[in-house]
Amino acid sequence: MLSSADQEFDDIAGQVLNATWKFYPDRASKEGLHDYDGGMTDISPTSIAGRVREVETQLVLLHGLDESLLSENRKFDRRILMPALREEKFRLTELETYQRWPMEALEHLDVSNYILRDYAPRGERVEALTVALSKVPGYLEALQTALDPAVGAPVIEASIEAYEGMRSFYDTDLSMHVSGLVEGTTFSRFDEARAAACRTLESFVAHLRTMLETSPSDFAIGATNFRWMLEHGEMVDLSIDRLESIGEQDLHRNLIHLRKLAADISPEGDVVSLLQETKKNHPAASMLTAETRGTLDDIRQFVLENDLVTIPSNVACIVKETPVFMRWAFAAVDLPGTYETTADEAYYYVTPVEASWTEAQKDEWLSSFNYPLLKNVSVHEAYPGHYVHHLHSKNASSKLRLVFGAYSFWDGWAHYTQEMMIEQGFGGNDQRVQAMQLMEALLRNCRFLCAIRMHTQGMTLEEAKRFFMEQAYLEPLTAEREALRGTYDPMYLNYTLGKLQIMKLREDYKARVGESFSLKDFHDKLLSFGAPPIPLVREAMLGPLAGPPL
């Protein structure tokens, strides 16, 4: 039987969740709460002001609880909820998400969840989709009114491309897909709402282009805001100088290791030559999906044979070609929402070549699937990365630990598994697998350092681009896009931040438990918490004297 304190916490937590879904109904729908289908977040000033007051009230209620009377699980969940609510308030007020961050506002326009998963009869899903599309004009009108003329030019440039992409998705892919699902008046109503949404998107993009003519070059959020996001989003309270030093050390560690590998295995002895040689060995276009499926089977078997982590289900991650409207990435996992109970499949998408491409273009695309890199990406996305994390998270003691999960845990775990697998012998005698793991690590190292320097030290977009080219060996266009992402995603340092926290936690936990340490037990215990900020997990596993996370 619950204590009165635990019951009071559960009541407040229930209020927090219900209020969250009510304000963000599109997020609720994506999480599998289909009573919210057709909804779209209201970002009018009145609505946002109401949400801020609501969050403030919830924080007062949570603060008023006597933590000493709560069970350990409720105490842990309270420590998740409070910084999560503070972060949301910070984003809505200080960062002004809907005034200064149009790239974040884009998420509410993504309606692909209605067509990706067969969670309900097709007619019912299309009806809900139509309702959602009918709200797009009002949403964009509110966003256009709210946007601050001082939004940085790089962020506006990225937003123009992204919103044009959304318009293209509505105009072509969405129309084509739904035409195969329904007909008659159901399709006519959908098509009318879709067309109106397209017209509004066109108008909104035109507005962004006008803004670009006078928008300033500065996009940085500043050191104070940067540290605030880390402290409340990830519960990491370290100085900028300390963070930068940690990032530099890890970058140099990986660079030295990669250059040594290149000297050992490449005839020319340099990294660029090693990359060029490695890219030549990839699946044929006709075998891409089949060979990826085989790669996943092999990786899964390696995890099981080496007893690295429990895989809680025999249901495999389904490998299939990426839907046309999602072909902006060459490979990615698509997981069901936290509350999804019907269409709960997990897909591992691989993007095929296009029939219209030249042979040279096809070969260039397939080089991204070179076998050593494909193995590393598959580790990250599926086994034992995101997909295994998802399987464990289904058994977490509280949904709060998933709904309010930390960026650094979700992506930090997946990134950590790539190096951990190499440590455990994955790849065997093929040193190129390790080389590609290091390339992936260097990319994340550069994100880590460029995020800090662009937002707190005045690093320019061009300087960040050169840094990615020189330190992560990226081609100019890829380096430019990575640098651009940093302007509107200042927390993309979280891949490396999370990985390094997990690595330190592993070593400290190993020292604590001594000879009884088991890597599998460590991983299972870590994943049992869901995805909360890692410092909270650290304290739960090591006690109140756990020490700093890095």
pLDDT tens profile 470-484? 999 999 989 999 999
Q: What is the rounded CA–CA span in Å between residue 304 and residue 306? A: 5
Contact status, residue 37 vs residue 128, Cβ threshold 8 Å? yes
Between strands 347-350 and 331-334, the pairing is antiparallel
Which residues neighbour 47 within 8 Å (Cβ) at sequence distance 6 or greater?
23
Instruction: Tell me which residue of 346, 475, 506, 275 sits closest to 412, measured CA to CA.
Output: 506
Q: For the range 339-344, what are the long-range contacts, defined as Cβ-Cβ under 8 Å and sequence gap of 24 or more? A: 339/31, 339/32, 339/33, 339/399, 340/31, 340/32, 340/117, 340/119, 341/32, 342/118, 342/119, 342/120, 343/117, 343/118, 343/119
Q: Which pLDDT does position 279 carry in this prediction? A: 92
Q: Which pLDDT does position 536 carry in this prediction? A: 94
Q: Which pLDDT does position 102 carry in this prediction? A: 96
Q: Which pLDDT does position 402 carry in this prediction? A: 85
What the block records as the tokens of 69 is 């009377």
Instruction: Tell me which residue of 251, 242, 255 sits closest to 456, measured CA to CA.
Output: 242
Instruction: Tell me which residue of 20, 15, 28, 16 sits closest to 132, measured CA to CA.
Output: 28
Contact status, residue 496 vs residue 450, Cβ threshold 8 Å? no
Q: Summarize pLDDT for 127-161 with one digit per residue, the tens.
A: 999 999 999 999 999 999 999 999 999 999 999 99
Q: Where do the structural domains in the chain lie, given as residue ranges?
A: 4-214, 226-276+373-496
Q: Which pLDDT does position 267 carry in this prediction? A: 85
Q: Which pLDDT does position 530 carry in this prediction? A: 92
Q: What is the rounded CA–CA span in Å between residue 531 and residue 519? A: 19
Q: Give every residue of the chain whose pLDDT is below 70, as ranges.
A: 325
Give the CA radius of gyration of the chain.
Answer: 24
Q: Which pLDDT does position 491 carry in this prediction? A: 95
| Total length of the chain | 550
Instruction: Tell me which residue of 398, 396, 442, 402 sits closest to 419, measured CA to CA.
Output: 442
